[in-house]
A and B are shown apart, each in its own frame.
Chain A
Amino acid sequence: MTVTPTSPADAGAGVVQPALGSRTRRLLYGSRTLAWLLLLPGLVMVVLFFLAPVVLTAAFSFTNMSTATGVSGGVYQVAPSSISRLKTALPDLADELSQPRYVIDQAGLDALGQTSVPKPLLDELAAKHMGEVFDNRRDAERMIKTLGGRPSTAVVKQISEAFNRSIVNARFSSKTALFEAIDGLGIKATPEQKETIADNTWTGWVWTTGNFERMFASKDALRTMLNTVFYVAMVLIIFNTAYAMFLAIATHYMPDRTSGFFRSLWLLPRITPPVIYVLMWKWVAWDNGFLSMLLAPFGVAPRNWLLDTGTNAWVFVILINGVVGASMGMLVFASALKAIPQSQFWASEVDGASRWQQIVHILLPQLRWPILFITCYQTLSLLASYDYILLATNGGPGGSTEVWSLAAYHTALFNYAGNLDYGYGAAMALVLVIIGITLALLYLRVFNYRALVSRPIIEH
């Protein structure tokens, strides 16, 4: 086999390389390209599942998109809602436009002459009903049904449509089609008036900053935001970091088997399906539940402890989320503690350090990175999570436990009257994304991330 060296370096090395084109070789053996290749799946994921949703959310948040407007576009339709708007903008034209009319005229007969509608039927129609005007489709169709031979329902509809001389409820896919129809009706409208008609009859979404104006004007939005701050801070501080740290340190000083048992115990809530987990809390809290039964002999009247007051609801919401959330911090902190060389503990014990001094001077300083990670991760996770609250209180009582992400869900994906408010929901979600990114950057700065990821001095 003859191998032609492609570069002086290859020739000098005297290594026999497989016969690959220089391009392919550069691609595969150049470390920079390889790095990009390895990163590619991750980048595709980030673009698909993070950047694209964020960009779309940002775009949607500046629209009035809802079920009624649709997502993909709209049409021009003189429907009841548009007539109501036009009555304010162009009162006279609105009246003319909103008249449904069916006129038996020559144009309609000519059009039907080109179809399969029987000629005798059309002749009868022309002879008996030429020039008649009907206010609505039903009356027109009743007349058509009196014609000889009683046309089928499909033919009746075909005939009535040919004499429809109004644009009420018709759906036009373009402005030009709408304007032609207006001209066809003989309605005199200036180009500006036509534009106003188009604006008011558009059924699709439009760009607007209205969502943010509505959000900033709403007292409920402010309350929801304060609820969110309270919820994230409480669960994060009490359970996800402090209590998780307590569990990690407590189990660190236990024999392996015992610590394993306690850690598994704390993992149970995490691995229980949320619906069942919350249902168990509800059994505890309902007015005929465990807590009420337990307190009954002490003369405490049974009550729904979960929803009795806002304070009650918060206690449960924080407990429900905290007990689930503590396990993650516990695992991360416990494994970080394991990584601290045992020699440091021996040395400190030789120096006569107490447990507390070990915690303060050895453990905590070396847990800075895991604490940053848990704080940052759990803040973002709490900001975005609402599943346990939805299942437990659904934001109640009276919106006391409604947090931002739950409110966004309620807005964008729940509406009793079938009109989901995507635009406002997206605006709420965007606010959450901005808060999340800001907080993440803030944490990195507070915990001095740059120093944490700098090269260790020892390797220099």
Chain B
Amino acid sequence: MTFSSKLLRATALASLMLAAAVAGAQARDVNISVWAGGTGPNDTYRVDAIEIAADLLQRQAAIAGDDLKITVTKKVYNGWDDFKPAVTLAAQAGNSPNIIVTGHEDIAPWAQAGLIVPIENYVDLDSWPLSDVYPNLMEIASYGGVVYGIPQDAESRPFFFWKPHMKAIGYSDDDIAALPERVQKGEYTLKNVLEDAKKMQDKGLVQPGYGFYPRASNGPDFWMFYTSMGGTMEENGKLVFDKAAMQRVYQFFADAVSTGVTKKNHIGLPGDQWWHEVSTGQAGIWDAGTWHYARMVNQEGLTDFFGNILFTLAPAGDGGKANTLTHPLVYVLGAGHTDEDAQIAAQLVAIATEPRINALHAIKSSHLGVDQSEGKIPFYAADRWASEATSALLPYANAMPNNADFGKYWDIMWKNLEASWTGTKTPEQAANDAESDLKSTLGDAIVIR
């Protein structure tokens, strides 16, 4: 055999092998879009996690000989006002993103409309890491016994107290340390909150209207007060309006205004102003989310958080119990995509739920982890806020119901809360109006007590 014929045969063989390799490893290009609402600069791991997951899945596929190329397109919305119409209108027009990061309460209406598909159709819920997700969070991501979403983060909404002001009105260090337990047992109530707020103002520690300085815009926090007053949001799949409890909530805010510890025009306060004030000791007591820790420490320059701030559950009111509300965001799958794309999107969500990746978001944004084993990751365990807040708050957390009609209920509840807060209606009028509005809007879909 001559050299040239050897070369010829070698070249032919190499070409054949190359052709076989090309034919065997068919490149698959998949585009996955992920949209997230309520996502500020501290929360970008909500979408970045999907990108990390895509990288891992590609590597995994490459080992199995599959040339998978995933392009992740990310879109984040800072607030919710623009995000929800954008997602729903896009989905109705057939342009739904593959993965949506949204509040769990969207699952019911969006599932009914067929805008999202159950993630349980594509993943094995018994396999790790999904089997490691807190069962109560998984429950919150389900609707009608079907798992639609995978929890993306958890949080809760504690009450915050500015410690130096508490000391100035007579609390000793021991009293302060014992307060969380007293709140939990129902010994320290919402009534005490108003009294202490008043004392702080009377002593000139805070300006009038800054004693009790709650969230200044509509949000899930206000349902926490309803639970504090003994209200129930849903029972056996049906919404419940407990008129007396709701009136007590309206009365509480009206009282806060009439005693001067909360401003009548508090709602609509510029967010930046509110942040700055609660982080610099200008307010006495307020309710906010656990994730606010990140903003206070990172953006507002509060260096000694634990030295200045005490956190507790939301205290009980008349007829209710101390509680907190968790409002997990969830990954859901948009409808209208091929089964193959949905399968890949679901796998990306599963990978993004792995404790290490989820911990990146939890710590950066001061949310709580969704996986039970997240606490074993040193990076997560070393974070004092994440570990303390998780154990102190999550066991007492309620969530809003996944019910397609809850949005209408919420609108009516909020409109009348705002009206009684600003003095446009008396608490009684507001409760009556809410009742008649709920009757004419929801009819049989709500139980009125």
Residues of chain A whose beta carbon lies under 8 Å from any beta carbon of chain B: 66-72, 74-75, 77, 79-81, 83-85, 88, 100, 136-138, 141-142, 145, 153-154, 156-157, 168-169, 171, 203, 213-214, 217-220, 282, 286, 288, 301, 303-304, 307-310, 393-394, 396-400, 411, 413-421
Contact = CB atoms under 8 A, between A and B. Distances in A.
B444 A79 contact: no
Contacts of A398: 267, 418-425
Contacts of A69: 112-113
B118 to A, nearest CB: 8
B267 A397 contact: yes
B440 A418 contact: no
Contacts of A84: 237-238, 445
A418 B103 contact: yes
Given A141-B126, A414-B84, A419-B404, 12 more contacts: A68-B108, A68-B112, A69-B112, A71-B92, A84-B237, A138-B125, A169-B145, A393-B268, A398-B418, A418-B102, A418-B103, A418-B109
Contacts of B87: 418
Contacts of A418: 84, 87-88, 102-103, 105-106, 109-110, 407
A83 B84 contact: no
A84 B441 CA distance: 17
23 contacts: A67-B88, A79-B144, A80-B143, A80-B403, A84-B445, A145-B126, A157-B122, A169-B145, A214-B440, A217-B436, A304-B265, A309-B264, A310-B422, A397-B424, A399-B418, A399-B424, A413-B85, A414-B85, A416-B410, A416-B411, A417-B105, A419-B109, A420-B84
Contacts of B106: 417-419
Interface of B: 80-81, 84-85, 87-88, 92, 102-103, 105-106, 108-115, 118, 120-127, 143-146, 208, 218-220, 237-238, 263-265, 267-270, 273, 343, 400, 403-408, 410-411, 414-415, 418-425, 433, 436-437, 440-441, 444-445
B440 A217 contact: yes
Given A169-B144, A220-B415, A419-B404, A67 B126 contact: no
Contacts of B115: 67, 70
Residue of A153, A218, A414, A416 with most partner-chain B CB within 10 A: A416
Contact of B404 (A68, A156, A309): A68
Contacts of A308: 264-265
Interface SS of chain A = loop
B273 to A, nearest CB: 7
Contacts of B415: 220, 399
Residue of B123, B127, B145 with most partner-chain A CB within 10 A: B145
B122 A416 contact: no
- Top 10 closest pairs, chain A to chain B, by CB: A398-B422, A417-B407, A418-B106, A419-B407, A398-B424, A68-B109, A397-B422, A419-B109, A307-B265, A80-B144
B124 A85 contact: no
A110 to B, nearest CB: 23
A413 B80 CA distance: 12
B88 A420 contact: yes
Contact of A397 (B103, B127, B144, B418): B418
Contacts of B238: 84
A399 to B, nearest CB: 6
A100 B404 contact: no
Contact of A303 (B121, B265, B406, B423): B265
Nearest to A407: B415
Contacts, number: 184
A400 B424 contact: yes
B418 A80 contact: no
B270 A286 contact: yes
A136 B146 CA distance: 10
Contacts of A83: 237
Nearest to A282: B270
A396 B112 contact: no
B237 A80 contact: yes
A72 B92 contact: yes
Contacts of B407: 415-419, 421
A219 B433 contact: yes
B431 to A, nearest CB: 13
A225 B103 CA distance: 33
Contacts of A80: 108, 143-144, 237, 403
Contacts of B444: 85, 88
Contacts of B269: 304, 307
A213 B443 CA distance: 12
A415 B81 CA distance: 8
Given A81-B112, A214-B440, A415-B411, A394 B268 contact: yes
A286 B273 CA distance: 10
B310 to A, nearest CB: 27
Residue of B84, B127, B220, B270 with most partner-chain A CB within 10 A: B84
B348 to A, nearest CB: 14
A398 B250 CA distance: 12
Contacts of A286: 270, 273
Contacts of A394: 268
A171 B437 contact: no
Contact of B81 (A79, A157, A393, A414): A414
Contact of A421 (B408, B420, B425): B408
B309 to A, nearest CB: 23
B95 to A, nearest CB: 14
B422 A396 contact: yes
Nearest to B92: A71
A394 B220 CA distance: 19
A400 B120 CA distance: 46
Contacts of A153: 122-124, 127
Contacts of B265: 303-304, 307-309, 397
A353 to B, nearest CB: 52
Contacts of A136: 145
Contacts of B123: 153
Contacts of A217: 436, 440
B106 to A, nearest CB: 3
A74 B113 CA distance: 7
A307 B267 CA distance: 9
Contact of B120 (A67, A71, A137, A397): A137
B343 A70 contact: no
Residue of A84, A88, A154, A411 with most partner-chain B CB within 10 A: A84
Contacts of A309: 264-265
Contacts of A75: 114
Nearest to B143: A80
Nearest to B406: A417
Nearest to B270: A286
Contacts of B420: 398
Nearest to A223: B424
Contacts of B126: 138, 141-142, 145
Residue of A79, A213, A419 with most partner-chain B CB within 10 A: A419
A203 B113 contact: yes
B35 to A, nearest CB: 13
A84 B445 CA distance: 8
Residue of B219, B268, B418, B425 with most partner-chain A CB within 10 A: B268
A393 B263 CA distance: 16
A78 to B, nearest CB: 9
Nearest to A135: B145
Nearest to B343: A154
Given A83-B237, A308-B264, A398-B422, A68 B218 contact: no
Contacts of A420: 84-85, 88
Contacts of B422: 310, 396-398, 400
A70 B440 contact: no
Contacts of A310: 422, 424
